[in-house]
Amino acid sequence: MGENLNLLIIGGDQRYLEVIDQLAAKGIDIDLAGFDQMTFSHPAINNKKLDQVDFELIDAILLPLHGTSADGEVDAVYSDEPMNLSFEMLRQTPKHCVVYTGISNGYLDEAVNQAGRSLVRLTDRDDLSILNSIPTAEATLKIAIEETDYTIHGSQVMVLGFGRTGVTLARLFSAVGAKVSVAARKDSDFARISEMGMCPVHLDHLADYISETDICINTVPHMILDTAVLSKMESSSLIIDIASKPGGTDFAFAREKGLKAVHALGLPGKTAPKTAGEIVSGVLYKLLTS
Instruction: Give the span between the Cα atoms of 40 and 46, in whole angstroms.
Output: 8
CATH of 6-124, one of 3.40.50.150, 1.20.120.530, 1.10.150.120, 3.40.50.720: 3.40.50.720
pLDDT tens-digit readout, 200-257: 999 999 999 999 999 999 999 999 999 999 999 999 999 999 998 889 999 999 999 9
Record: fold of 130-269? Rossmann fold (3.40.50)
User: Which residue, 285, 290, 276, 288, is CA-closest to 17?
Assistant: 276
Contacts of 265 (CB under 8 A, 6+ apart): 66, 242, 244, 245
Distance CA 159, CA 147 (A): 17
| Helix axis angle, 126-146 to 164-175, nearest 10° | 40
Q: What is the pLDDT of residues 17-38, one digit of tens each?
A: 999 999 999 999 999 999 999 9
Establish whether domains 6-124 and 130-269 are of one fold: yes
3: confidence class by pLDDT, cuts 50, 70, 90: low
Residue 203: helix, strand or coil by DSSP?
Answer: helix
> What is the DSSP secondary structure assignment for residue 282, as one 8-state letter?
H
Q: Are the C-beta atoms of residues 25 and 9 closer than 8 Å to each other? A: no
Measure the CA–CA gap between 34 and 49, rounded to whole angstroms.
7
Model pTM score? 0.88
**pLDDT given for residue 4 in this prediction:** 75
List, for residues 161-210, the tens digit of each pLDDT value: 999 999 999 999 999 999 999 999 999 999 999 999 999 999 999 999 99
pLDDT at 290: 86
Residue 10's nearest CA partner among 37, 35, 43, 45 is: 35
Going from N- to C-terminal start, the domains of the chain cover 6-124, 130-269
CA–CA dist 97, 8 (Å, integer): 10
> What per-residue confidence (pLDDT) applies to 1?
56
As a whole number, mean pLDDT of residues 86-109 equals 96
Q: Rounded to whole angstroms, how far apart are CA atoms 94 and 50?
A: 17
The DSSP line for 110-174 is HHHHHHT-EEEEGGGSHHHHHHHHHHHHHHHHHHHHHT-SS-STT-EEEEE--SHHHHHHHHHHH
pLDDT tens, residue by residue, 100-146: 999 999 999 999 999 999 999 999 999 999 999 999 999 999 999 99
Tally Cβ neighbours within 10 Å of residue 65: 24
How many Cβ atoms sit within 10 Å of the Cβ of residue 10?
25
